[in-house]
């Protein structure tokens, strides 16, 4: 058994243990009830447990990516024919490239591996909770050569424009919960989800090519890199409506993949925490208590 497989097995065991001691299980089960109201709790627990084990496998995969040889990078990370070439052609046109991804599969590998292959990647990030976990994760990104721009709220657009002017590919995570003041609200699993409109604004302002990309781990240890695009922002003359439609399309693309591989999305984060202003209170508690349900009917439509 290779070191990579051994570390993956140890990570999976740690993930199982975190599930067994009920770390954030209430959040996970609440999210799964919201997204899959027709499932049994047994099915939700099965997916939640598998997700924690997948998170455990993901960590060593990402943290040791820099130890892979060029030949191993080519063997482990596979693409549909012609799709990577589309991204490279768009980058060569010089208007910028934004790769939209999500908390799905080993999304950290998308930035690390492509940077190691020679495509300069910039990630717009926020400060984490701090401590050793943040240092470990940011250290992994730094070793892979990924540029991180830790920006204050309200400064994301300026930081993104600066990175693209430098010829870097911008990696953007679309499923991060936002404050109500800065968010738009496309739906995700039929529920309004506070979403940053930044990718759409970048495309409209700069002509940047927008791609949707996910990492889908395969049973044999390889990773399928899914690429969709380039994607066009609608142009009806109503900018707000067009931006919302575009971000809805990205959310719909993600939802389709989550439905195919529900154990690969990170149900541990509070995706639906911020509510639209029309709901009254801008934020509501989500997943409070142990396996507390969230009524999917309250926020539907």
Q: How far is CA 43 from CA 24, 32, 114, 128, 271, in A?
A: 17, 10, 35, 31, 20
Is 229 a domain residue?
Answer: yes
Beta-strand pair 147-150/121-125: parallel
Q: What is the pLDDT of residue 100?
A: 97
- Please count the structural domains in the chain: 1
Q: What is the pLDDT of residue 142?
A: 79
Question: What are the residues whose beta carbons fall under 8 Å from the beta carbon of 64, sequence distance 6 or more?
Answer: 3, 4, 7
SS3 of residue 198 by DSSP: helix
Is 294 a domain residue?
Answer: no
Q: What is the pLDDT of residue 127?
A: 65
Domain interval for residue 252: 3-279
Is 17 a domain residue?
Answer: yes
Q: What is the pLDDT of residue 289?
A: 33
For the chain, 301 residues long, give each residue's pLDDT as a single digit of tens.
Answer: 477 788 889 999 999 999 999 999 999 999 999 999 999 999 999 999 999 999 999 888 887 888 888 899 999 999 999 999 999 999 999 999 999 999 999 988 888 889 888 889 998 776 666 676 677 767 878 787 788 877 766 677 788 888 888 889 999 999 999 988 889 999 999 999 999 999 999 999 999 999 999 999 998 889 999 999 999 999 999 999 999 999 999 999 999 999 999 999 999 999 999 999 865 444 443 443 333 333 333 333 2
């Amino acid at each position: 058994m290779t070191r990579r497989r051994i570390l993956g097995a140890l990570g999976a065991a740690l993930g199982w243990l975190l599930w067994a001691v009920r770390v954030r299980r209430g959040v996970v089960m609440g999210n799964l009830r919201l997204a899959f109201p027709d499932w049994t709790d047994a099915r939700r627990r099965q997916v939640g447990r598998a997700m924690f084990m997948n998170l455990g496998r993901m960590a060593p995969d990402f943290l040791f990516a820099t130890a892979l040889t060029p030949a191993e990078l080519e063997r482990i990370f596979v693409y549909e024919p012609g799709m990577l070439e589309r991204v490279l052609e768009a980058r060569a046109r010089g208007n910028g490239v934004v790769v939209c991804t999500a908390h799905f599969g080993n999304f950290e590998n998308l930035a690390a591996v492509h940077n190691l292959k020679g495509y300069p990647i910039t990630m717009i990030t926020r400060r984490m909770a701090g401590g050793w976990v943040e240092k470990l994760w940011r250290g992994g990104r730094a070793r892979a050569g990924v540029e991180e721009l830790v920006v204050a709220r309200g400064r994301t657009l300026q930081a993104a424009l600066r990175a693209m002017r430098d010829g870097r590919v911008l990696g953007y995570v679309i499923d991060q919960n936002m404050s109500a003041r800065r968010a738009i609200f496309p739906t995700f699993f039929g529920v309004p989800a506070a979403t940053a409109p930044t990718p759409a604004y970048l495309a409209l302002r700069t002509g940047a090519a927008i791609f949707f990309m996910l990492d889908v781990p395969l049973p044999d240890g390889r990773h399928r890199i899914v690429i969709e695009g380039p994607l066009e922002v609608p142009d009806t003359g109503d900018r707000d409506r067009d931006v919302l439609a575009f971000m809805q399309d990205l959310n719909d693309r993600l939802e389709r993949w989550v439905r195919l591989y529900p154990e690969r999305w990170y149900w541990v984060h509070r995706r639906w925490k911020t509510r639209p202003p029309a709901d009254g209170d801008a934020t509501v508690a989500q997943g409070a208590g142990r396996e507390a349900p969230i009524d999917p009917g309250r926020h539907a439509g």
